[in-house]
Structure formats: C-alpha cells, structure tokens
Amino acid sequence: MRKILFAALVLMIAFQAQAFAASPQKYAVVNSNLLLKDSEIGQAALKTLEKKVATATAKIKAKKKEIEDLNKALQKQKLVLSLEAKQDKELELKRKYRDYQDLAQATQRKIQVEEQKVRVPVIEMISKIVQEYGKKNGYAVIFDKAATGFIYVNDAVDVTNEIMLEMNRAYRAGKK
C-alpha cells in the first residue's frame, strides 16, 4: 500500500513539475479606478454625469432658497400676523420643507442611477480591452490593483498605461 501511495505521489510531483517548467506565467496588474478617471471615455462619462448633477443640484438649491426666503418672511411678520395666518404660513413652510427633502432624496437616487448608467459602458470597455490585451500579450492573469487589496505591486507589472492607450484608441475609433 505504501509503495502505491509513494508511486502516486512521485507521478503527481513529476506532472506538476512539467506543467510549471513548460512555460513561465506572465502576471500584470491594472488600476481600474485610474482608467475610469483618466481615460478619454471615462472623462467623457464624467462630464455627462457632472452636467446632469449640476441641473439637479440647481433645482435643489432653488427649492432651498425658496424655503429660506419664506422662513425669513415668516420671522419678520410673526408679530403682526393673526394666529390663523401665522399657522397657515408655518404649515406652508413645513410642507415646502418636506417637498424639499423628498426632492433631495429623489435627486440623490437619480444621480446614483445615472452614475451607474454612465459607468457601465466604461467598465465593460475596460474589461474587454484588458481581456484582449492579456490574450495578445500572453498574460496568464491580469489583476485589478484597485479591487484586490494588494499592499505592494512592482511597477514593472502594472500595465494601466498600456490599457489606457488601448482604451483611448478604441474610444476614438468608436466615435468616428
């Protein structure tokens, strides 16, 4: 029995040694956050998102100014208003404040949805370009430096700049 186990162990080690000796494996890392932020498609997506956020933010600021103005007017007129008029103004102020809060929450949700809509095509492009680059250049694995929690990575295996060049070429070709 021991001879069989020993023979199996020797064969297993021999096959693994051949597999490792057959070809050295190439590994690389890429920083997806940098690609999202600095690539041409990422910057275009960010500009689109910023425009939508600015429009939504302007609406919220206008609503907030309206509430502040109404509150100032109420404070100035508080002493001269009748009890019923004062209660009506306070009720109106509370209603507008609730509307403002609802608008702010709805806007926040819309911004998150828009951010996802804008990011998805960029992430898909990153994935596609990284896969093509890895196949073309013979990499066994390309890790995402931003997502995997590496503490140290040698800059020699970081292919972020090469991937960004490929992404920018693909983005320019797609715009034509």
Cα R_g (the chain), whole angstroms: 30
pLDDT in tens, 77-124: 888 888 888 888 889 989 999 999 999 999 999 999 999 999 999 989
Cα dihedral 88, 89, 93, 95, rounded to 10, equals 20
pLDDT in tens, 132-172: 988 898 888 888 887 766 667 677 788 888 988 999 998 88
Query: At 139, phi and psi to the nearest 5?
Result: -85, 140
Statement: residue 17 has pLDDT above 50: no
User: Which of the four pLDDT bands, split at 50, 70 and 90, describes residue 13?
Assistant: low
Task: Walk me through the domains of the chain, giving residue ranges and CATH numbers.
Answer: 24-175 (3.30.910.20)
First to last CA, the chain: 70
Statement: residue 52 has pLDDT above 50: yes
What is d(CA 30, CA 161) in angstroms, rounded to the nearest whole number?
8
Report which DSSP code applies to 82: -
